[in-house]
Structure 1
Amino acid sequence: GKGHIRYNTELIEYQQDDLGVTATIINRETGTKEKIRSNYLVAADGAKSTIRQYTKIPTTGRGVVGGHYINIYFQADLSRFLKPSQFGWIQILNPEVFGALITVNNRDEWIYHVAYNPSNGESPEDFSEERCCEIIKKAIGVSNLDIVIFSILPWEAAEQTATRFQDNRVFLIGDAAHLMPPTGGFGSNTGIQDAHNLAWKLAAVIHKQAHPRLLQTYHDERHYAVELTTKYASDLLFSVIKKGVSTLNSMDHTAVTVGYKYNSTAIIEENSDTPHRMDQLELNGRPGTRAPHMWLKYQGKCISTLDLIGENFILFTGKDNSLWRTAARNVSSHLGVPINVYSISLQGDCVECENSWEAVYDVTSQGAVLIRPDGFVAWRTKEE
């Protein structure tokens, strides 16, 4: 069914039993309480997650690692200063003020981050609307600017990871599961990856296509990837502010974002003596890693292998794939799990544009690769 988004609504408590979760929500405007019964509860309620506190799952990590900041969300028409440049984030440094300007709509809504130092007696209370307007004017470099302040909120760069991402029928994702400094820009990616990993598993279990044990692989797969990313973001921050020595500077940013490998019962491992490298991006169809991109011609259009990934499992094969098609059809009807089969060859459903799929996915012409709905390789065989 369709999802419903409720605004001004807070989850205040929940109970779980063997069959599901009963949550109590309250409308903050009317005070009306309501009970909702569901199979599962996904805690995507941010850094101060009420649900994580309720689960009593402990966290590990270095805590506050990079100072204290004020987040000033404001309205001002800055278009005359910026034409025609577009940016997401810009650091402003001048003798009077030091901070970062972040765009909300690249026209008249912005966020300005400015640091404060509690050890010098500074506190969030020092940042009145008047002072924040002065800070923004100094940062922009003009004295006559119409500014409307929407909010002034303190925040701290922190490193914190929940020790478990699952409590029976409750799953922690995003900032509720892990906090990391903004260095490197990994926070949003990591939260979206959590959701991507969990969504297809929940769908499979709810549609009775998989045993609920599949849901345990969410923690098994994501926790390691998150710990690695969180540590890297902190190390980057330390190397910037010289608080410590970064041990990961040799790593590639893209490898941290998309190059990790999952290990769980939802991956059929290959017998390999070579460990997966994390210091550089190495995607070649190995089970547990992201399916690599290659260009294909499909139904008259040029697309990426990644464009075929989505709702169902996918089986990529070479040109002689009638046996694979039959096998996929049998497995699909036996398990009730849809599998899309694509033959990649000069005569197949998908025609190679630049690279040979055998080289990109490290298989022979008789090989096959099974890809999960989240785009990770579940299994590979190099021959038939």
Structure 2
Amino acid sequence: MRAKIDERVPVLIAGGSLVGLSTSLFLSRLGVRHLVVERHAGTSVHPRGRGNNVRTMELFRTAGAEPLIREAASVLSGNHGILQVGTLTGGPQEWLFREIDPGGGLARFSPSGWCLCSQNDLEPVLLRYARDLGGEVRFGTELVDFEQDAAGVTAVVRDRSNGRLRTVRADYLVAADGPRSPVRERLGIAQQGPGDLFHNVSITFRAKRMADAVGDRRFIVCYLTDPEGEGALLPVDNEADWVFHAPWHPDRGETLEDFTDERCIRHIRAAAGIPDMEVEITGRAPWHAAERVAERYGAGRVFLAGDSAHEMSPTGAFGSNTGIQDAHNLAWKLAAVLGGWAGPALLDSYQAERRPVAVATSARASARSAEHQHPGYDVTPGAGRRGNVLGVVLGYRYTEGALTGADPEQPALPERFRPDGEPGTRAPHLWCYRYGTRLSTLDLFERSMVLLSGPAGHIWHAAGAAAAEETEVPLDRYLVGDGPEHNLAPEPGADWCELYGTERDGAVLVRPDGFVAWRARSAGADPRRELEEALRSVLALG
């Protein structure tokens, strides 16, 4: 290891793809200086990882990036549902589901919605916004070595354009370096799970007549079942540019080189049902669907996030969304510890919270691939278990970690989504007014702890000021009600107490990531002491 330290940063991030850039954005919003190193020359050029679920969009909303992302995603804003056909011009046709949010019922639960934005369109938005906020991202630079001690991590990075080495000293290292993570391997962290599920080759191509075959069916993805054209078709612009996922069987001796232009064109023509369709192959890339979760989410001052921590079947886009949510969970904790208002042990809660969610979500993703009979996934028909997707997306919960009062018997993923304000769950969305401005309760959660007190919760509101001063924890306080003394007014007809599970004199403590950390259903005998104890417990303060 090189002895001379060339630069120092609080956080070093290895990997500048979707999860690494999300980590950069979230840390930038929290004012944490950091450096991202990414071995590739720039952001992704391949249209993949397009499904951003409602929880992910809530996080981007809070970070101020949602409008920019929706603008980048506008070309696919009218695409919905998953279609299954023999070929595009013949054979049986079935919509596995037609609408992501039929009837618009999601608006009851969230101020955001699903967004179809391919990784090659999303990453530039995250990069630009993170840099505008002060994030430093270096492409063409790779992490080649690191070692840690009790005080930090010393890493060596290499500029791939000239081979020059630099030594970076960081307080913490975040590894967002993909499913074959060199950092995870260096730490000796094993993975658990069934392993590889199936393999595909992702083919990008241009074909103007494909739009004629598709017609007015604006799908997210179309599964083709005809043996000669089996695969999955995804629109890029609904006109000339498309992606086709073709089954690949390396276990049968197939190599990537076997997917010649001629073979790919023949396969795509068969899928479309147009034998003479003009097709231009513009790229191909292998990808592997797997179900694996790291046994540990890090060691010491090094943390795994995204694909380095978990691999999931692509059906439902659970993997990329889980990775972005990893980044958000870790970012506020790093900011709190580096900012001095949480103890270092708070970072232990990252694994305690995120790993059970990944284990349960990866199993649900595999089941969904079986349910949809994803091309290339050879499983018994009907092996998939139909689950409530909203329970996965918004209902995942933490039963241990940076919280107090959670029910340890509850599963990480519920069978049904029911927002109730319990500790360990995402704080429910409620439209409110603050000084005449309409906002969601979710908009309150980002940079500090937040205390929400019911209409008669004045005692908690006052106790919060004293507890914050005693613990030196940044704590925003809102007294919820429609009287002149209240500073957060629910929309007419809304009942905050019912939604958050308290009496009129109750209160909840919400973390910067929008998860309920503690709840008092009603006024306590010593509210200041209760709040101080809750803050110290949640934030690992001595």
- TM above 0.5, one fold? yes
Question: Superposed, which structure 2 residues align to 1:349-364 within 5 Å?
Answer: 349-353=487-491, 354-364=493-503
**Partner letter of residue 365 of structure 1?**
R
Instruction: Tell me the secondary structure at the aligned position of residue 155 of structure 1.
Output: strand
Question: Superposed, which structure 2 residues align to 1:363-378 within 5 Å?
Answer: 363-378=502-517
Match of 2:351 among 216, 219, 236: 219
Instruction: Tell me the secondary structure at the aligned position of residue 6 of structure 1.
Output: strand
Which sections of structure 2, spanning at least 5 residues, go unmatched? 1-32, 34-133, 524-542
Count of residue correspondences: 381
**Partner letter of residue 158 of structure 1?**
A
1:275 and 1:121 map into 2 onto residues whose CA distance is 45
1:161 and 1:179 map into 2 onto residues whose CA distance is 6
2:292 and 2:248 map into 1 onto residues whose CA distance is 21
Asked if the contact 2:403–2:516 (Cα under 8 Å) also holds between the matched residues in 1, the reply is yes
Instruction: Tell me the secondary structure at the aligned position of residue 97 of structure 1.
Output: coil
2:277 and 2:383 map into 1 onto residues whose CA distance is 46
1:203 matched residue in structure 2: 335
Change (3 A) 1:3 1:33: same
* 1:25-71, Cα deviation, whole Å (9 max, x unpaired): 11222222221111101011111111111111011100112x22111
Match of 2:202 among 67, 71, 88: 71
1:308 matched residue in structure 2: 444
1:168 matched residue in structure 2: 300
* 1:121-179, Cα deviation, whole Å (9 max, x unpaired): 433221123432443344445545362513x2222211111000021011001100000
1:78 and 1:29 map into 2 onto residues whose CA distance is 41
Asked if the contact 2:369–2:384 (Cα under 8 Å) also holds between the matched residues in 1, the reply is no
1:255 and 1:183 map into 2 onto residues whose CA distance is 16
2:285 and 2:225 map into 1 onto residues whose CA distance is 21
Match of 1:345 among 461, 481, 505: 481
1:179 and 1:157 map into 2 onto residues whose CA distance is 8
Instruction: Tell me the secondary structure at the aligned position of residue 91 of structure 1.
Output: strand
**Partner letter of residue 312 of structure 2?**
M
Match of 1:149 among 282, 292, 298: 282
**Partner letter of residue 471 of structure 2?**
L
* 1:64-93, Cα deviation, whole Å (9 max, x unpaired): 12x221112345557954687654323234
2:454 matched residue in structure 1: 318
Higher relative contact order (CA 8 A, sep 6+): 2
Farther-moved stretch of structure 1 (215-224 vs 308-317): 308-317
**Partner letter of residue 287 of structure 2?**
W
Q: Does 1:50 align with 2:177?
A: no
Q: Does 1:159 align with 2:295?
A: no
Q: Does 1:381 align with 2:513?
A: no
Asked if the contact 1:291–1:377 (Cα under 8 Å) also holds between the matched residues in 2, the reply is yes
Farther-moved stretch of structure 1 (345-354 vs 106-115): 106-115
* 1:264-295, Cα deviation, whole Å (9 max, x unpaired): 3411116x698467111122000011111122
Change (3 A) 1:247 1:209: farther
2:237 and 2:272 map into 1 onto residues whose CA distance is 17
2:161 matched residue in structure 1: 29
**Residue 9 of structure 1: how far off its partner (Å):** 1.6
Farther-moved stretch of structure 1 (285-294 vs 141-150): 141-150
2:363 and 2:207 map into 1 onto residues whose CA distance is 36
Q: Percent identity?
A: 38
Asked if the contact 2:206–2:240 (Cα under 8 Å) also holds between the matched residues in 1, the reply is yes
Change (3 A) 1:61 1:357: same
What is the TM-score with the length of structure 1 in the denominator?
A: 0.90
**Residue 303 of structure 1: how far off its partner (Å):** 2.4
2:471 matched residue in structure 1: 335
Which sections of structure 1, spanning at least 5 residues, go unmatched? none
Farther-moved stretch of structure 1 (241-250 vs 201-210): 241-250
1:99 and 1:250 map into 2 onto residues whose CA distance is 22
Farther-moved stretch of structure 1 (41-50 vs 304-313): 304-313
Change (3 A) 1:250 1:116: closer
2:247 matched residue in structure 1: 115
Change (3 A) 1:69 1:325: same
Instruction: Tell me the secondary structure at the aligned position of residue 286 of structure 1.
Output: coil
Q: Does 1:266 align with 2:397?
A: no
1:83 and 1:35 map into 2 onto residues whose CA distance is 55
Change (3 A) 1:78 1:314: farther
Change (3 A) 1:119 1:224: closer
**Residue 216 of structure 1: how far off its partner (Å):** 0.3
Change (3 A) 1:161 1:242: same
Asked if the contact 1:129–1:149 (Cα under 8 Å) also holds between the matched residues in 2, the reply is no
**Partner letter of residue 131 of structure 1?**
R
1:273 and 1:231 map into 2 onto residues whose CA distance is 20
**Residue 317 of structure 1: how far off its partner (Å):** 0.9
Asked if the contact 2:306–2:323 (Cα under 8 Å) also holds between the matched residues in 1, the reply is yes
**Residue 7 of structure 1: how far off its partner (Å):** 1.1
1:286 and 1:42 map into 2 onto residues whose CA distance is 30
**Residue 258 of structure 1: how far off its partner (Å):** 2.3
Change (3 A) 1:302 1:55: same
1:148 and 1:118 map into 2 onto residues whose CA distance is 22
Instruction: Tell me the secondary structure at the aligned position of residue 296 of structure 1.
Output: strand
Change (3 A) 1:164 1:34: same
**Partner letter of residue 317 of structure 1?**
S
**Residue 247 of structure 1: how far off its partner (Å):** 8.0
